[in-house]
């Protein structure tokens, strides 16, 4: 299915690019938001990812799986957006952009809210593998390709990430001041 869409995009079919967007945008936005922790940053990262996909689709080799290629670009764009915004914008600007995008930044759910908050508190090196594995369902091998890491490093980061989440849930009742991620 995806390979057919890619073939159509390569042959110049503009509607196929919209098909690709409709197929990938939901999870791309979810992953980008979980990585960047901002709607404005997520929107920027997903926008630039699809623009890069559109202009570089000819470099994608049909025999390779598309998803790791797509998410490698997305994660790189998330990191780039985070880097630019950490230099240019204050957190107030990001919040203003989120208001402009008419979506509330704070997750509105009660069940698992503590766990999601704990994931947000994780360092990037543990957070991104956790997001790719549990939100998108990537294998450790795919994650190692997306992040250009050794597979054992990915396993270690996932293990430590899970451990930190469990520790967080244990100390949650004692208050945030004791928790250091």
Chain contacts with other proteins (rule: CB under 8 A): 18, 21, 25-26, 29-34, 39, 42-43, 46-47, 50-51, 54-55, 101-104, 107-109, 111-113, 115-116, 119-120, 130-131, 134-135, 162, 165-166
Whole-number minimum distance, CB 173 to other proteins, in Å? 17
Instruction: Print burial letters for 34-69: b (CB count within 10 Å at least 16), e (below 16).
Output: bbbbbbbbbbbbbebbbeebeeeeeeeeeeeebbbb
Whole-number minimum distance, CB 63 to other proteins, in Å? 27
- Nearest to other proteins of 16, 130 (CB atom): 130
- Nearest to other proteins of 133, 145 (CB atom): 133
- Nearest to other proteins of 61, 106 (CB atom): 106
| Cβ atoms of residues 80 and 42 within 8 Å | no
- Nearest to other proteins of 50, 71 (CB atom): 50
Single out the residue of 15, 1, 9, 16 nearest to residue 60, CA to CA: 9
Whole-number minimum distance, CB 15 to other proteins, in Å? 12
Whole-number minimum distance, CB 177 to other proteins, in Å? 23
DSSP 111-161: TTHHHHHHHHHS-HHHHHHHHHHHTS---HHHHHHHTT--HHHHHHHHHHH
Whole-number minimum distance, CB 90 to other proteins, in Å? 22
Single out the residue of 27, 26, 79, 22 nearest to residue 48, CA to CA: 79
φ, ψ of residue 12 in degrees (nearest 5): 95, 10
- Nearest to other proteins of 113, 180 (CB atom): 113
């Amino acid at each position: 299915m995806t390979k057919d869409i890619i073939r159509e995009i390569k042959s110049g079919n503009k509607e196929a690019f919209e098909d690709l967007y409709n197929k990938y945008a939901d999870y791309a936005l979810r992953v980008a938001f979980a990585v960047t922790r901002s709607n404005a940053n997520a929107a920027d990262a997903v926008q630039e990812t699809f623009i890069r996909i559109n202009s570089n689709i000819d470099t994608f080799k049909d025999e390779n799986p598309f998803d790791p290629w797509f998410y490698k670009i997305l994660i790189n764009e998330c990191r780039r957006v985070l880097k630019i915004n950490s230099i240019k914008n204050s957190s107030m600007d990001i919040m203003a952009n989120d208001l402009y995008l008419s979506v509330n930044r704070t997750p509105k759910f009660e069940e698992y809210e503590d766990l999601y908050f704990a994931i947000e508190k994780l360092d990037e090196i543990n957070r991104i593998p956790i997001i790719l594995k549990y939100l998108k369902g990537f294998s450790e091998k795919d994650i190692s390709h997306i992040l250009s890491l050794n597979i054992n490093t990915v396993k270690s980061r996932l293990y430590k990430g899970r451990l930190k989440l469990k520790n967080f849930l244990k100390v949650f009742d004692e208050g945030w001041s004791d928790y250091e991620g």
